[in-house]
Structure 1
Amino acid sequence: MQTKSDADLLSASSAQVDAAIAAFHPPLPLAVALSGGADSTALLLACHARWPGQVRAIHVHHGLQAAADDFQKHCEQLCAQHGIALKVCAIDARNAAGQSPEDAARQGRYQALIHAAQQDWLAVDGVAQEPVRSMALAQHADDQVETLLLALSRGAGVAGLAAMPAHWQRAQLEWFRPLLAAPARTLRDWLRVRGVSWVEDPTNTDETYTRNRIRAQLLPVLEQVFPQFRSTFARSSAHCAQASELLDEQAAADSLAVGIPPSIKALQALNAVRLGNVLRYWLRSSYGTTPTAAQLSQLMHQLRVCTTRGHRIHIKVGRGFVERRGAALDWYNS
């Protein structure tokens, strides 16, 4: 039997979710990406309680596991019970050669969410609704810590250490992660207080995935050694996000000076820090590719020694190659 103190703790824990939603101010109507798990279920119902009639749900059926049909049924029953309009999108999330399964599923999911949000919507009673203006994703504080630890393990720079942004724009939609300050347990507590069930993805306990090993093995140790690690790690990520923004501002200014495509002579006038920064910015903003540390170092070295008309530059960078084309650099997809 649950004691009064247990009930009080449960209620206090779930109140963190209410606080997070109270601080959330998206343009309406809002769509919530609904997997059927505890995180997205809590986000959907909390948003629906605050903005009844202004919240929709989108469920992406990845088709990668036998339980996927059950996830869809759960989402359909949940939305029908609460009078929430739902769209279900089936995608082929199989990964291409050289692409990780996680990245394939993520890219497919984002494309499906955008497509569903941009379609016409009907309310449960068949009345036409306004177009979706915002999208909410249910990543929480534990997800943010896992993202930061993965970035650290890969030797990421400040852009990677900034982890997941709380707000951004994409495809004429405002995107939000309103629960990044809420630990995973608070979302389950919020649902338990209200007697709401959710589905458990069996892959969440598969420790062949690095994220699951972090969740199962590292987070409990961090909890013991640094009880406030979620908030302190989030603060560090916020500092990195600010630093990354400043680097992008400097790179944008340097990009104007070196030109697009960038002039080799102008690049050579920059110091090493600004040179690496503007090269990363050029490749990312122009071609959506990111060099490894080794690739960037090799490219910078070749630029420094490029002092003759016949000097050739041909370096693998990201998915393609950076080459010298006359007095400038160019990149092409292999």
Structure 2
Amino acid sequence: MAVSPTPKLNANFPSLDALQNLGPFAVALSGGADSTALLVACAARWPGKVHAVHVHHGLQAAADGFEAHCMALCERLHVPLVVRRVNAANASGESPEDAARQARYRAFADALQNNWGGQINHMVLAQHADDQVETLMLALSRGAGLPGLACMPAVAERYGVTYHRPWLEVPGSHLRDALRAAEESWVEDPTNGDTRYTRNRIRAELLPVIEQAFPSFRQTFARSASHAAQAQALLQEMAEQDLQLVGNPPAIKALQQLSEARQSNVLRHWLALEHSQASAAQLQALLVQVKACTTRGHHIDIKVGRGFVRRDGAVLRCYNL
């Protein structure tokens, strides 16, 4: 595919109006079609305002090719680029995708904090409607609650960086069409066709079938994710109010005055503040013990995440390992 010296401004890139009020920002540039389209579109609309960060994961031989593409693209577009190399190997019990994602977000934060005078704290991500649907399918397959079903938010904060996803309602095919119209090239990740990864199986095998049955599924699924996000926001507000009511650490008698649903909600919130996370089974076991705790000698010691929740007199305490 031919590469033009400058992006064609008449190429049909999706709207970026959601970003128009930002100051200088960075684009997360992998070198694939989606992030290449995002950088080209942003650089054409806001020349001199856009920066880029590329994370070299070192997990495949093609990684050097991705870096070379990003460097050449940024040089041609006059976009300052920072490359971060990370160790994205997964630990025991951790999925390779999760390990790479965590390493990537840490690298993004480090790149922004230590470059360009530390004055840039906004980063734009190229995830689109197909990515959002895949995320929802993964969440459903795992029996996720509302936080998982809410999928990826349009704006979120992590490690001191505000992330923006302006194309969550745009099909991925539109981005590739716009790149072709602009005569722009990109690099294909060789792992995208590997159906050993669940997300790839969803993309290759499930989404085409869903599209045949429900042509507007991207829009309707996104609407469901939005409803889940709104409901989760309400639960978060209630959890914060209930934690003030029961105290931190939570008083057992105060918890017992709440419905089981509110107990579950406030305990999840409290555990998150304690940097712990309970499975559904662990939380249910804790609720049973809270309900049964009616005598001074009743003992509570429940495994939660990587630690324990134990009774300490009149309250519960979380002990992380």
TM over 0.5: yes
Of 17, 39, 42 in structure 2, the residue corresponding to residue 22 of structure 1 is 17
Q: Which residue of 2 aligns with 1:300?
A: 287
Aligned twin of 2:103: 108
CA deviation digits over 1:38-91, x for unaligned, max 9?
A: 000001111111111010010000001111111101110111111110000000
Paired residue secondary structure (1:18): coil
Note if contact 1:28-1:133 (Cα within 8 Å) is conserved in structure 2.
no
| Stretches of structure 1 lacking an aligned partner (at least 5 in a row) | 1-10, 122-128
Shift of 1:244: 0.2
Aligned residues: 312
SS of aligned partner of 2:19? coil
Superposed counterparts of 1:217-296, under 5 Å: 217-284=205-272, 286-296=273-283
How far apart in 2 are the matches of 1:73 and 1:170? 28
The Cα shift of 1:289 comes to 2.6
Question: For 2:114, which of 95, 116, 119 is the aligned residue?
Answer: 119
Hey, what's the Cα distance between the residues in 2 that align with 1:291 and 1:84? 44
Residues 9-42 of structure 1, C-alpha deviations (whole Å, 9 max, x = no match): xx9xx73x432x1343352211011000000000
Question: How many angstroms apart in 2 are the aligned matches of 1:174 and 1:270?
Answer: 35
Secondary structure at the residue paired with 1:218? Answer: helix
What is the aligned partner in structure 2 of residue 134 from structure 1? 122
Local SS of the residue matching 1:146: helix
Deviation at 1:312, TM superposition (A): 1.2
Q: Deviations over 1:159-206 (max 9, x none)?
A: 111000110223443210111011110110110000000001111111
**Alignment check: 8 A CA contact 2:14 2:170 kept:** no
Where 2:14 maps in the other structure, the secondary structure is helix
| 1:205-235 CA distance string (max 9 Å, x none) | 1101100000001100111000000000000
- Identity percentage of aligned residues: 59
Taking structure 1 as reference, are residues 67 and 190 closer, same or farther at Cα in structure 2, changes over 3 Å only? same
Q: 1:213 aligns with which of 198, 201, 210?
A: 201
Indicate conservation of the 8 Å contact 2:246/2:254, yes or no. Answer: yes
Matches of 1:289 and 1:47, distance apart in 2: 38
Structure 2 partner of 1:320: 307
The superposition leaves residues 253-285 of structure 1 with CA deviations (integer Å, 9 ceiling, x where unpaired) of 00001111111111111111111110111111x
1:176 aligns with 2:164: yes
Q: What is the rounded CA distance, in whole Å, between the counterparts of 2:199 and 2:118 in structure 1? A: 37
Partner of 2:132, secondary structure, is helix
In 2, distance between residues paired with 1:25 and 1:176? 12
Q: Is it true that 1:187 corresponds to 2:175 in the alignment?
A: yes
Q: Secondary structure at the match of 2:311?
A: strand
**Per-residue deviation, 1:158:** 1.4
SS at match of 1:39: helix
Q: Which moved more, 1:307-316 or 1:136-145?
A: 307-316
Secondary structure, counterpart of 2:163 in structure 1:
strand
Task: Check the 8 A contact 2:126/2:165 in 1, yes or no.
Answer: yes
The AA in structure 2 aligned to 1:328 is: V
1:68 and 2:63 are equivalent in the alignment = yes
Q: Decide whether the 8 Å contact of 1:59 with 1:75 is kept in 2.
A: yes
Shift of 1:130: 7.6
